[in-house]
Amino acid sequence: MKKRWIQVAIAAVVIVLLIPVGQIAYDATFNKSSGSVASVSPVTDEEALATFAGGCFWCMEPPFDGVEGVMEVYSGYTGGQEEYPAYEDVASGNTDHVEAVQVRFDPDRIAYEDLLQIFWRQIDPTDADGQFVDRGHQYSTAIFYHNGEQRDLAEASKRDLEESGRFNEPVITPVLEAEAFYKAEEYHQKFYQENPVRYQAYRAASGRDSFLDEYWGDERNYEPTSYDPADSKYAVDYTDEELEEMLMPIQYEVTQLDGTEPAYRNAYWDHYEDGIYVDVVSGEPLFSSRDQYDSETGWPSFTQPIDEHYILEEEDRKLLVVRTEIRSRYGDSHLGHVFEDGPEPTGLRYCMNSAALRFIPLEDMEEEGYEDYIDEVTSS
């Protein structure tokens, strides 16, 4: 316990230096809240909700985002009596709310038990007074169940974790009935994507990852057992020899060896025909011409992906600065990097390699099986 508090204290000092005064100071300075928005819309018969509190909601979105069967993840506030709370009130402890994420998922594609396993691997379930560098009830953990089945599964999962002996102290994360959930202000949604550098600096100094590595080790990255990624129509299983044969040398260098093609000497840096760009290896839909713009860098650039499920972000330390690498989920192709110097509406620049992409013109999208994405090309 003493060691943990020493680590928390050190992390707090580092965060103060990195971001200048942490979450509250940043948001209060640059994004003064006007209050949360209405609770999320009711789910359909094919969807379900799961709600988890795990401390800073910035850190709780990425583990669920992009998981097969997860349709959407929002950051928000729950567990308190106040209606439409503002971030400053929750973060300062002036309400009974906790920061939480709400997960909309398809139970036919991923089981609630799998979501619980993902949740446990993000938190310190023995800490009743907050999470890592963030202290106070507003950063405490909880599982909020939406029906009796979820309650029973959550309690059984908690009991199994306690009996596993993984932690030296009791597992105290409560299992509570779900209450009104208020979606947090827009600047908090997908913070890890919208502000990757700031997010990574905060997370690295928070102490969360070192704790999870210590207690989970090789088991930290949970693979859902209720869904086999090989079932995806974009799943590939090429050998290295097959990839070398099917790809042009520059395509192989970029996608398989994490290379970078020459600026201004590639296929799509100034290409603006209507259509979509897919992974050259797997065919996963990646970017729409609607979101392409001239970044004056010599590489094709986009403000956002066409479907976030097919995009994976990884920390890249190959150069002197930390960058965010972009890879395809099923092809595992190196695509490029994302930066925070893009135009509105996202402020992001997905700087891609043409060699990692295949372009499908709008008129060919239906024939090639991408009809579901036509609106992403034609809508303004």
Helix/strand/coil percentages in the chain, nearest 5: 35, 20, 45
Q: What's the Rg (C-alpha) of the chain?
A: 22
Question: Are the C-beta atoms of 269 and 300 separated by less than 8 Å?
Answer: yes
- Residue 37 is classified by DSSP as B
Q: Where are the beta strands (DSSP E) in 211-281?
A: 275-279
State how far the Cα of 267 lies from the Cα of 254, in Å rounded to an integer: 14
Catalytic residue among 100, 351, 355, 377: 351
Q: Which of 8, 49, 56, 338 is catalytic?
A: 56
What one-character-per-residue DSSP string does 151-192 give?
HHHHHHHHHHHHHHT-SSS-----EEE---EEEPPGGGTTHH
Q: Is 59 a catalytic residue?
A: no
Tally Cβ neighbours within 10 Å of residue 347: 13
Please state, in angstroms and rounded to a whole number, the distance separating the CA atoms of residues 182 and 164.
34
Residue 349 pairs with which residues in a beta bridge?
Answer: 339
CA gap 319, 191 in Å, rounded: 24
- For the chain, the maximum distance between any two Cα atoms, rounded to a whole number of angstroms, is 64
Which residue bears the tokens 């059984």? 156
Query: What's the rounded Cα separation, in Å, for the pair 167 and 104?
Result: 30
| Cis geometry, peptide bond prior to residue 345 (ω within 30 degrees of 0) | yes
Q: Which of 285, 263, 267 is nearest to 276 (CA)?
A: 285
Catalytic positions: 56, 351
